[in-house]
Every structure is written in structure tokens, then in C-alpha cells.
Amino acid sequence: MDDANGTAVTEFILLGFSYLGAYQSALFWGVLFVYLVTLLGNSLIITLTLLDPALSTPMYFFLRHLSVIEILYTMTIVPRMLTDLLSSHSAISPASCFTQMYFFALLGTAECCLLTAMAYDCYAAICQPLHYAMLMKRQACVGMVGASYLMGLITGTTHSIFIFTLPFHGTNIVHHFLCDNLPVLRLASGDTFWGEVGNLGVTLLFIMTPFALILFSYICILITILGVASAQGRQKVFSTCSSHLLVVTLFFGTATLAYMKPGNSTTQDTDQILSLFYTVVTPMLNPFIYTLRNKEVMGALRHKVTKHL
């Protein structure tokens, strides 16, 4: 790479966790364990919701697609990350970087929208129980899932294509373990103002707007819960959506810290730790949250295990 001659970038270098030195091998085994548990746990959720007739409700339909997204999401990031943790030269071609950025944006946006659909399902079940069957009929559920994937497709396509139509000359070092939009955008030559404005717009539209809709749904749910006379009744109503609320808190909490913070409020190392949590750790936790806190899923799991043993 010749900075003086403005040579076009032919590869990017993902710095990742190179600052850890010898500790990268420990991180490798930790990430590999989390990845395998993520694949196993989410595959189990998909299998149970497909095979058990008792898990054919809208909530489990959404949960199955959430598990599909989590598997694809981690497959987009983790295998490359594991390879780089064992490599002394973490180079990635522009084409591979574009592909990773595209699917990262697509699946991340789809997950935000799908979590919003799941919040609406909770709202309909608790606040509109008499109209629930009509509001959450099969066509409506399929439409919401399809819209989630469509929003992801639009975001991934427009954002990734826009960034990679910019010229890249000179430095090619990405201070991240993946090709996220902002770290790559800041390497582009020339004015990146509109690119950063577009990134902020996408963040507001597909992170903060779904979060605001989810928050509104839970405010309505809370009002309904407070209107229930007995403590046992309130506990039963709250348990219906407690798992989803915990997943939303983990996902949107870390994503908001990573993308909505002021520019100089955290170091690049802190940014990577936040990104590691919501891209690697949270997908592993979701199956545990939905199984350990859900009697129907645990019952279906026990039934299948007992049947096969």
C-alpha cells in the first residue's frame, strides 16, 4: 500500500483483539465454546417449535425465526473471528468485507424488527385478549416476519453498497474484529459526512424506533398488569413476556451503547467488547432465557428426551 501515490486498497486488516497478545488463544477457546453453545441451543429451539404441536402459537413462530437469525448472525461473524484470533495477519478482501457487512446489517436489522413483532404479540395477548386470535392470525405473523427480513434486506443492500462505492486509498487498518459500517466508512477517502449521517439515520430508524415501539408496548402491558386485582394474576401476566423483555434489554442495551454513544466517549477496545457482547454472547443467552424461564418449552424438551430415551 503506497499512501503517497494514493494506491487503492486491495485488502483490509482487521486489528480485532491483537492488543491482547498471547491471551488471544484463551479468547479463541472462549468464543468457540460460546459459538458451539449458540448453534446447539438455537437449533434445539427450532427443532422443538417445529416438532411439538403445543409450540405452534405465534410466540413460538417468532421465536423460531429469532433462532434462525441468531444462527445466521453468528455464522456471519464468529468463524472469521476465530480464524483471525489464530492468525498473525488478519487480512480480508474488499469483497469479503462487503459480504460480511451486508449480512451483518441485514440480520441485525431483521432481529430488531422481529423483536418488535414479538413485543406486539405480547401486547395483543395481554392487552387485547378477546381480539388476539384475529390480530395474530397466521397471515399476520408471516407478514410481520417477512417485513422484518425485507427491512433487513433494504438496510443491508443500501448501506453496504453506498459505503463500498466510496474510494479507499491509503490506510487499510480496521479497528474492529468485523467489517462494521462505521470503522470501514472512516477509512474512505474524501468527505464521509453523508455516510455518517446515513449511518446515524439507519441507527435511529432500525434501533431506536423499534426500541421505542417495544417500550410503548410494555408501558401498555404494565398498565394492564397494574389493573389486575390479585398478585397471582399479575405474576402470571408478567411471566408471559418476561423472557422477551430480558432479551430486548440485553440486545438493545448493548447495541445502543455501541452505536448511539458520543464519538469520543469510549475507547476502541471498549467498543469491541460491547460489540462482542451483543454479536456473540447475547445469541447464546437467548435459548437459555426462553427455555429455563418457559414451562411449555421445558415440558416439550422433557417430553422429547423421555420419548427418545
Quote the CA–CA distance of 277 and 284 in Å, as a whole number: 10
Higher pLDDT, 107 or 197: 107
Tell me how far CA of residue 166 lies from CA of 38, 68, 178, 184, in angstroms. Answer: 35, 33, 19, 11
pLDDT tens-digit series, residues 21-40: 888 889 999 999 999 999 99
The predicted structure's pLDDT at residue 116: 93
Higher pLDDT, 141 or 237: 141
State the chain's mean pLDDT as an integer: 83
- C-alpha dihedral, 148 to 149 to 154 to 156, nearest 10°: 110
Quote the CA–CA distance of 180 and 178 in Å, as a whole number: 6
Asked if 117 and 62 count as a contact pair (C-beta separation under 8 A), the reply is yes
The alpha helices in 165-276, defined as continuous H runs, are 181-185, 193-203, 209-226, 231-259, 268-276
C-alpha cell, 88: 498473525
In the predicted structure, residue 16 carries a pLDDT above the cut 80: yes
The predicted structure's pLDDT at residue 221: 86
Higher pLDDT, 263 or 273: 273
Q: Which residues contact 213 (CB under 8 A, 6 or more apart)?
A: 116, 119, 120
Span 217-225, mean pLDDT?
Answer: 86
The predicted structure's pLDDT at residue 3: 45
C-alpha cell, 147: 417485513
Report strand pairing: 91-92 vs 173-174. unpaired
Asked if 30 and 85 count as a contact pair (C-beta separation under 8 A), the reply is no
pTM, full prediction: 0.87
The predicted structure's pLDDT at residue 261: 61
The predicted structure's pLDDT at residue 267: 62
C-alpha cell, 158: 443500501
The predicted structure's pLDDT at residue 2: 41
The predicted structure's pLDDT at residue 33: 96
User: Domain 12-302 class?
Assistant: mainly alpha
Burial 108-117 (b: 16+ CB within 10 A, else e): bbbbbbbbbb
Quote the CA–CA distance of 153 and 105 in Å, as a whole number: 8
Q: pLDDT over 70 for what percent of the chain?
A: 85
Among 34, 178, 159, 174, residue whose Cα is nearest residue 109 = 159
Span 135-162, mean pLDDT?
Answer: 92
pLDDT tens-digit series, residues 226-264: 776 567 766 766 776 777 888 888 888 877 777 666 554
Return the top range by mean pLDDT from 82-96, 131-145, 247-261, 281-295: 131-145
Asked if 180 and 101 count as a contact pair (C-beta separation under 8 A), the reply is yes
The predicted structure's pLDDT at residue 263: 53
HSE-CB for 28 with a 13 A CA cutoff: 14
pLDDT-derived band at 99 (thresholds 50, 70, 90) equals: very high
C-alpha cell, 180: 462494521
In the predicted structure, residue 4 carries a pLDDT above the cut 60: no
- The Cβ of residue 54 has, within 10 Å, a number of other Cβ atoms equal to 13
The predicted structure's pLDDT at residue 27: 92
Burial class (CB in 10 A: 0-12, 13-18, 19+), 281: middle
Quote the CA–CA distance of 56 and 144 in Å, as a whole number: 16
Q: pLDDT over 90 for what percent of the chain?
A: 33
pLDDT-derived band at 1 (thresholds 50, 70, 90) equals: very low
Asked if 283 and 38 count as a contact pair (C-beta separation under 8 A), the reply is yes
Q: How many residues does the chain have?
A: 309
Quote the CA–CA distance of 161 and 26 in Å, as a whole number: 36
In the predicted structure, residue 77 carries a pLDDT above the cut 60: yes
Tell me how far CA of residue 130 lies from CA of 52, 121, 134, 136, 140, in angstroms. Answer: 25, 13, 9, 11, 17
